[in-house]
């Protein structure tokens, strides 16, 4: 059975900012995230990203600038010796009030990933830093993992009951190391 993992982007793979990441120059990887993705790829996993990107609709950056950020991620993976980069990047450029089925915590992006690869995400891991990430993972019957990077500490401080049984890791690299053991 093909193993697949879904990752949130901002705060999990790259350093997040409440002022938004608006360019490839501002896009900087979280410590260990490139190595974590490389480890997943070497272990034969498909790696998909599902990321809310409301900054596009807010006019902070364009789809072309978002594409440049994703090209930077792929370039950093290849420069680190990863022969295959991220397999699929899905983004939702919508605001919460748009009520888009794609925007997390709605499941549209995850459904698109299932359709793209012809597989079910049930039981597969999803790593995120927000309640929306945890909610969408649970809605798809995935195994959520919370990281403390990005908005992770804020998410933990919410003491939301949803977090009671969700494993928490310092960062993506720690989560992946635990997953691959």
Locate the domains of the chain by residue range: 4-180
Q: How confident is the model at residue 83 (pLDDT cuts 50, 70, 90)?
A: confident
Mean pLDDT score of the chain? 97
* pLDDT, mean of residues 67-80: 97
CB 44 within 8 A of CB 24: no
Count of beta carbons in the 10 Å neighbourhood of residue 178: 12
pLDDT at 1 over 90: no
pTM, to two decimals: 0.97
Residue count of the chain: 181
Selection from 67, 50, 162 nearest residue 108 by Cα: 50
8 is catalytic: yes
pLDDT tens digit sequence for 10-68:
999 999 999 999 999 999 999 999 999 999 999 999 999 999 999 999 999 999 999 99
- Residue that is written with structure tokens 């401080």 in the block: 157
Catalytic residue among 8, 16, 129, 133: 8
CATH T-level topology, domain 4-180: Rossmann fold (3.40.50)
Q: Is 165 a catalytic residue?
A: no
């Amino acid at each position: 059975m093909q193993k697949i993992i879904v990752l949130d982007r901002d705060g999990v793979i790259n350093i997040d900012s409440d002022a938004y990441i608006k360019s490839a120059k501002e896009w900087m990887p979280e410590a260990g995230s490139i190595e974590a993705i490389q480890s997943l790829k070497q272990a034969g996993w498909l790696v998909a990203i599902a990321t809310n990107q409301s900054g596009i609709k807010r006019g902070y950056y364009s789809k072309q600038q978002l594409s440049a950020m994703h090209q930077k991620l792929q370039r950093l993976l290849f420069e680190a010796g990863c022969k295959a980069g991220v397999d699929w990047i899905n983004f939702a450029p919508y605001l919460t009030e748009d009520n888009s089925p794609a925007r997390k915590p709605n499941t549209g992006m995850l459904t698109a990933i299932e359709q793209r690869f012809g597989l079910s995400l049930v039981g597969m891991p999803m790593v995120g830093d927000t309640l929306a990430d945890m909610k969408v993972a649970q809605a798809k019957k995935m195994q959520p993992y919370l990281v403390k990077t990005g908005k992770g500490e804020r998410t933990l401080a919410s003491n939301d009951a949803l977090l009671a049984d969700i494993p928490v890791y310092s960062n993506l690299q720690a989560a992946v190391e635990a997953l691959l053991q």
